[in-house]
Amino acid sequence: MHDAPTVYLDHAATTPMVPAAVEALTAHLADVGNASSLHASGRRARRVVEESRETIARVLGCRPGEVVFTSGGTEADNLAVKGLYWSRRAADPARRRILVSAVEHHAVLDPVEWLVEHEDADLELVPVDRDGRIDTDALAASIARDPGSVALVSVMWANNEVGTVQPIADVVVIAGEHGIPVHSDAVQALGAVPVDFARSGVDAMSISGHKVGGPLGVGALVVRREIELTALVHGGGQERDVRSGTLDVPAVAGFAAAVEVAVKEQAEHAARMTELQHRLVDAVRRAAPDAVLNGVSTGSTTGTSSTTGTSPTTDSGPPVEARRLPGNVHFSFPGCEGDSLLMLLDARGIECSTGSACSAGVPQPSHVLLAMGRDEAVARSSLRFSLGRTSTEADVDAVGEALGPCLERARAARA
């Protein structure tokens, strides 16, 4: 066991609640009243829910009626993908194709695969480049091949493993030319980069409480009022009759408080995360010169080249800050297993991830890295460090100090 304080660098998996969310949550924990009840206690609970809905709508650029509360990002993704597919298919049986990026979270991929197996859907994975950015030309070509057969497009706002921010505006334009609805999983993007529902043009967007400093077990699907969704859960008809179930009033209040803080402080937070990100990239490269940064270059001081060899000063696309989440650092470490390195770092009090927490422990390489053109050995040798509000320079420096000895042991174990 280690005596040093824990260095928590897995904020992309979950991040501590912010004080405003804790205060909002605890303020209602002792309250009684079902938000669907008509008596005074029920009306008080309903008022908390609707005020929370209005808060989220105001900061996300949508209408209150477009915020559908769920149990989190996974349920929101399922509701969007299945709900859109079923409603579109019911209106036109020819609409069987679902187009998603090859680097989507399993909360999108698995529901689509279920629809393929049980509901006659046809999944098409749209390729990405070596930085994990979707090939919009391939998307356009796939749609153009038979626009009338496409039920929906789902492209995440930002990738949970390598932090690549997707060109959502381009995706919306391409799909919009054919009247095809677009869903985006914005779970990782909210609070890290600017997120405005109305301006984005997407038709549905998933967000989650515990990723932005809110409680676990609450999230939302923001979906345009004009969009028809078929419900996953039936019962009391809550949430526009597309998500039945008694609402968790304290969690909803905490969620709204966290979203408000995340959006309000986004620019300041991103600036601080970017500084720490650069410091961490430099620390890793000093400790492990052969380590390879996956995803878009961070533009750190010890090197600006990403795995593609493209410098952000010569790239004609958006600046680095607009193409990678500011708190994400994802490296491959040649000659070792990522799981072994993770456990060695954990023994020294440093907590990180081999990728998506939802697939932790499953002995298979990251589908994200494979889609980005890496081989299985490289995919297995990777770690994700994700920074958050509680991260400090001391945390970053601790990684730099521990990485060298841990990497040496991990490589020796593999050999």
Residues with a known catalytic role? 358
Measure CA 385 to chain center. 15
The token pair that represents 333 in the structure block = 């470490």
SS3 string of the chain? CCCCCCEECECCCCCCCCHHHHHHHHHCCCCCCCCCCCCHHHHHHHHHHHHHHHHHHHHHCCCHHHEEEECCHHHHHHHHHHHHHHHHHHHCCCCCEEEEECCCCHHHHHHHHHHHHHCCCEEEEECECCCCCECHHHHHHHHHHCHHHEEEEECCCECCCCCEECCHHHHHHHHHCCCCCEEEECCCCECCECCCHHHHCCCEEEEECCCCCCCCCCEEEEECCCCCCCCCECCCCCCCCCECCCCCHHHHHHHHHHHHHHHHCHHHHHHHHHHHHHHHHHHHHHHCCCCEECCCCCCECCECCCCCCCCCCCCCCCCHHHCECCCEEEEECCCCCHHHHHHHHHHCCEECECCCHHHCCCCCCCHHHHHCCCCHHHHHCEEEEECCCCCCHHHHHHHHHHHHHHHHHHHHHHC
The token pair that represents 376 in the structure block = 């299985």
